Amino acid sequence: MNKKIISVLLFLYIPLLYAQQAPTQNKPPVKPGKIIAELTSSTLTGAGLALATVFIYAGLNKNSNGWDQLAGALLVGGIAYPIGCTAGAYYVGNTGNEKGSFWATLGGSAAGVAVTVSLVALTDISELGVLYFILPPVGAVMGHNLTRRWASPPGNALLNFREGQMSAGIPTLQLRPTDRKENFNKQFRILSIQF
């Protein structure tokens, strides 16, 4: 395999390692089902938006030459596809109590386009153009998940009210020994309210 292709693939793989970090208080855990849903939504939304813009462009330019119409439709659809990929990944990624950056999602999708164009230009292997349909959704999902965080961080009580929003959490149970070694103080947080 060409060294340029290997270096680009490694460049794409390193952020995936970062995305698999352990969950913290500010970052929710990675859910494989949600990643698959983001990829599916990203791909379908991108394809749907690309097809819609191609048909609209073709309908508006009925009087042009057939090749000009085809080239313009492909250009418009090619621009719409990564934008649709961004929208699909961002929408599904922000469900539940999680948020990610729209700009990072768009940047990931644009990086997927840039990597595809670079690979085709550097290697002169036109068959790599099929990566145009794979890398923008992958980049959008990676960009979104690298910036993923809790919309409102979960508290350590069963019900948490913070800044006008309610969230459920896993309550903490604390056992502390008292002055007498056979007795323990027990603390179980059921409700947490912050203003």
Q: pLDDT class for 171, splitting at 50, 70, 90?
A: low
| Confidence (pLDDT) at 104 | 93
> Could you give phi then psi for residue 32, rounded to 5 degrees?
-55, -35
Same domain, 185 and 125: no
Distance CA 190, CA 193 (A): 10
Same domain, 74 and 115: yes
Q: Total structural domains in the chain?
A: 2
| Confidence (pLDDT) at 142 | 94
Same domain, 114 and 134: yes
Q: Are 30 and 17 in contact (CB under 8 A)?
A: no
Same domain, 113 and 163: no
Distance CA 134, CA 132 (A): 6
Same domain, 140 and 165: no
SS3 call for 167: strand
Same domain, 136 and 49: yes
- Mean pLDDT to the nearest integer, 71-86: 88
Distance CA 143, CA 108 (A): 5
Same domain, 170 and 116: no
Same domain, 78 and 139: yes
DSSP alpha helix (H) spans, 31-65: 32-60
Express each pLDDT in 10-26 by its tens digit: 555 445 444 444 445 56
> Could you give phi then psi for residue 50, rounded to 5 degrees?
-65, -45
Distance CA 16, CA 4 (A): 19
Same domain, 86 and 143: yes
Question: CA-CA distances (angstroms) from residue 98 to 30, 76, 81, 85?
Answer: 11, 32, 25, 19
Same domain, 118 and 170: no
Structural domain of 53: 3-150
Same domain, 179 and 88: no
Distance CA 35, CA 24 (A): 18
Express each pLDDT in 124-145 by its tens digit: 888 888 899 999 999 999 999 9
Please state whether beta strands 191-194 and 159-162 pair in parallel, antiparallel, or not at all (unpaired).
parallel
Q: Are 137 and 174 in contact (CB under 8 A)?
A: no
Same domain, 130 and 173: no
Scored b (16 or more CB within 10 A) or e, 82-107 reads bbbbbbbbbebbbeeebbbbbebbbb
Express each pLDDT in 101-126 by its tens digit: 999 999 999 999 999 888 888 888 88
